[in-house]
Structures are given as structure tokens and as C-alpha cells.
Structure 1
């Protein structure tokens, strides 16, 4: 079932109350921005008609609680996930690349493959690992190394958690600012978080999307503070939870408990650059409004 345009309104019009109403009623929907307008999409024409009628009566939502017993007929769409994929091609592409790399590298076990994607080339000598200076790799034209560590994951849990959060945050940015912007932010956050991690720990083997994820989180967080919109409204407590997790990792507790080394530099670097892009993007969006 394809997504249908239910409403098209000026970008400066506040849809937050009506979106909250749709969320409370359990109506599947998403909001995108196109050429200075915000568009509300729902799966199916029948549901779109109901949403339009609902908006005519309650454009600011249900502030008085009048709709406590209202039942909206939801579209039963088993293809909902396919619809989301169709509307989030860049998010899906990055995750597909991540899954392919996870399979090729055997989730961190195939060092012969990992060495071509790691920040620095390396060779293993018994119990020791020798890193090739990054300058030599860049001189040989291996510029992809500053980006590709984001695709390397060590273990199924590492992959699952990062993929889940990228799907959640990536789709929001792609719906609000477009796929080109999401791709640009992803590559920028990967570059910056990898460079910071290298400066933080020196030559080491690291990887994962977590630095990018903290960048996406910071971007959505600050953007939403400056220019509120439904796409970037994260569930309550998500930002606090992620910041607390960052502090726990920085404390060294996770490593001390034997769960492996944490790329704290990548997390911090990603969060800072993400907050910076969110500040710029949110300020521009606020100015546009």
C-alpha cells in the first residue's frame, strides 16, 4: 500500500498538536518538508480522507480531550515496512552496506578483509598488530579509510544496536531534510568521529556506526530545540539516556567489566559535530520560518 498525501501546509504552520493527536489515535503517518511546505503522508486513500476530516475539526489537536473514545480506522498494511524502505532509500542503503560488510568481515573475525576498511592498514605478527602510518595509505590513494570504519562491527549485538538506531534516526533526517542531506551528514560524522578517535587513542583498531549515531542524535536534538518539527521529536528520555550511556562509557566501567574497548573519542566527536550541524540547520530553518 503506497503512501498518500493527506495534507500539504505551509512550513511555518505548527502541526505538532495535530501530529500528537494522530500518535495518540495510533494513526500511521510521517511528515516531510518539500519546497517550503510540510506534507503529511498516510498509508491509503481511505485513511487520508479520514485524516483530512479530522484536521478540519481539530487543526490544533485535541487540547480538550474530546476525542478520548474516537476510533480511527487504521489501514492494515502488511507492506508498511516496504513503504518505509521506499521513502528512506539512503537509510536503507547505508544499512545494506553495513550488513554486507558484517558478512564479509565475519563480524570482526576476518582480519584479512577488515584491514582494507580500517582507519589504518595493519598486519598481525603473533600476538602483536603493526599499524601502517595513515599518511602512507593516503599517499597510496586509500582515502576511503577515513570513512569506512563506520561499516565495521565486532559482534552481532554491536551490529544490531547500531543498525536499529541508524534506522530510527536516519529515517527522521531523510524525511525532514532529504536523502542527500542524510548522506552528507553520515559521511561528515564518520570522518570527524574517526579522526577524533584516532587522535584520542592513537593507532588502534576501531569501527562501528556509533560515532555517526551520536552525530545524528546531536543534530536532531539541537535542530528540534531551534526549529521544532514532528520528525525530530524524539521519545522522552532518549537524549538523556544516550548522554548517560556516553558518560558511563567515558568512566571506563564498560571496559572494566570486560565488554571490550569503547570508541569514546568517536562518540564525543560525533556528538559535538552533530550538535554543530543541528545548530546551523536549526538556525537556518528558524530564520526561514
Structure 2
């Protein structure tokens, strides 16, 4: 679908009622901010009718008054959301299965199937094979699978909730191919970052991917605003604050071990890809 600019308005002009009217009429549209203006994008063939409608305030004043009144909005059911974002649901199912069969990290013989480095347990000690040896034997899946490991219920629930909230946004906005590439790349690079900068050979969790999704939404929204990635600034600040607390080492005083390198690596991957995707989408929109 080729989108074209239909309107340019000042930032203080409220377009919400007009946008709702277009959506009610099943007119695809989106609003972006460019050079201190609001820009309304619609399909190229509908630019003139939309401009004519906007130029006649009486045609949509009644709708604007109705939109100002609180109207209950029925949210899609969880099943409906799951059908739309089934890839995110699949990640959650896989994570839950791995948590179940590993006993949240208690069954080390099974954990060793998913860890970055293969290892064996002898009594109270674990013997970890070098990563180069593991990969040279063809066990390339280990670059990804540590993200499926979790070691407590809180660890699992926290990451699952964030993956559902952020992952489905990207899956629906960017498409499943981009989303899949983002998750896999973030998983691999965050795992390698943790391996490189941590002394602990056994680690896991989706948090590196979660920070990648956060970084993607954050930087995409900064460069090319869309409704799907409009996260509250306080929420972004909370996550970044948690990241800084972890990096500071304060949590180690309470015997809490955080995969800080995975978090930072994931955030970096997400920020870079978010900027790249925003620039690409913005250029395509301008050329439409």
C-alpha cells in the first residue's frame, strides 16, 4: 500500500477525532511528526477525498463531539491477540516448555542441552567444554537456546510479560520476518556478550532479547513515531534505571546475579536495528 501526505498541521492541533473518523470509515492512516508539524498519511488514491473532508469541519464536527465523550472500548480477547501475534506466543510456549523440563534450572543434565557451553556434572562440580569445541562439533543451536533457560518463577514471569507486551507490537508493526530476525540476532549477540564479559559459564533468560525489543521500540519511536511503539517515558526510564543498577554491581551485595552484559548487548542490538528500521520505513513513506 502506497501512502501519501494528505495533511500537514501544527503540533497543537488535535487530529484525534478526525483520525478516529477515518478509521471508522476503514481508511488506513497514520500520523507522524516531521519538522515540527503533524503529518497525516493515507493511501495515495484517497488524498483528495480526505483533504475535502478535512476542509469541511461541519462534516465531522458531530463525530468530534461524540469522540470527546468517554466511550467504552472493547479490547480484543487474549485468544484474538494470540492469533494475531502467534510468533510471540510460540516463543512463550517454547520458553515455558524448557522451564518445565529443566525444573527451572534444577535438572542440570537437561539444562546442559540448552546452555551456551556443553557441560557435564561430576558430584558438586561442573566441567564446561570450551565454546570453540562445542561449536566445532556442530552444536550451533547453543548460540540461541540459552535465552530459553530460566532459573526462577519470577525470572520467567517477568521476561514473559515483557516479551508479550513488546514482542507483539513489533510482530504486528514490522512483520514476522523482521521480528524473527530481531529476536534471533539479539539472542545470539546477547549470549555471546554475556559469555565474553562474565566469569559465570552458566546463564540464561530472555532478558537480553527483552532489552533488544525495548531498544527497538524506543529508538524507532524517536526517529519515526508510530502509535504501536508509543511507550510511556516512565516505563522506559524504569527499565534503563534497572539496567544501570545492575551494571553498578549493587545487586551483587544482595546475592542477586544479573546477566548485565546480555542486557547491554541486547539493548545495543535493538537500538541499532530500531534506528535502521525507522530510517528505512521513513524513507519509503516519503517516496510514496
1:196-235, aligned counterparts within 5 Å?
A: 196-202=193-199, 204-235=201-232
Instruction: Kindly indicate whether the alpha-carbon contact (under 8 Å) linking 2:104 and 2:150 is maintained by their aligned counterparts in 1.
Output: yes
SS at match of 2:113: coil
Give the CA deviation at 1:199.
0.5
Give the CA deviation at 1:73.
5.2
1:11-30, aligned counterparts within 5 Å?
A: 17-18=15-16
Instruction: Kindly indicate whether the alpha-carbon contact (under 8 Å) linking 1:211 and 1:269 is maintained by their aligned counterparts in 2.
Output: yes
Rounded Cα–Cα distance in structure 2 between residues aligned with 1:108 and 1:11: 52
Instruction: Kindly indicate whether the alpha-carbon contact (under 8 Å) linking 2:18 and 2:60 is maintained by their aligned counterparts in 1.
Output: no
Give the CA deviation at 1:32.
10
SS at match of 1:262: coil
Deviation string for 1:54-79 (max 9, x for gaps)?
Answer: xx737xx97xxx5586243544x7x7
2:124 aligned partner: 127
- The CA RMSD measured in Å over matched residues stands at 3.1
Q: Structure 1 residue 264 and structure 2 residue 257: aligned?
A: no
Deviation string for 1:109-151 (max 9, x for gaps)?
Answer: 1111100100001122333222111111111110000000000
Give the CA deviation at 1:10.
3.2
SS at match of 1:123: strand
Rounded Cα–Cα distance in structure 1 between residues aligned with 2:153 and 2:42: 38
SS at match of 2:121: strand
1:149 aligned partner: 146
Rounded Cα–Cα distance in structure 1 between residues aligned with 2:234 and 2:106: 35
SS at match of 1:115: helix
TM-score, reference length from structure 1: 0.77
Rounded Cα–Cα distance in structure 1 between residues aligned with 2:102 and 2:235: 31
1:82-121, aligned counterparts within 5 Å?
A: 82-121=79-118
2:236 aligned partner: 239
Instruction: Kindly indicate whether the alpha-carbon contact (under 8 Å) linking 2:17 and 2:67 is maintained by their aligned counterparts in 1.
Output: no
Unpaired segments ≥5 residues, structure 2: 8-13, 21-27, 31-40, 44-58
Unpaired segments ≥5 residues, structure 1: 1-7, 23-30, 40-55
Aligned residues: 248
Instruction: Kindly indicate whether the alpha-carbon contact (under 8 Å) linking 2:99 and 2:105 is maintained by their aligned counterparts in 1.
Output: yes
1:47 aligned partner: none
Give the CA deviation at 1:234.
0.7
Q: 1:139 to 1:20 in 2, by over 3 A?
A: farther
SS at match of 2:104: coil
Rounded Cα–Cα distance in structure 1 between residues aligned with 2:232 and 2:17: 14
Rounded Cα–Cα distance in structure 2 between residues aligned with 1:236 and 1:106: 36
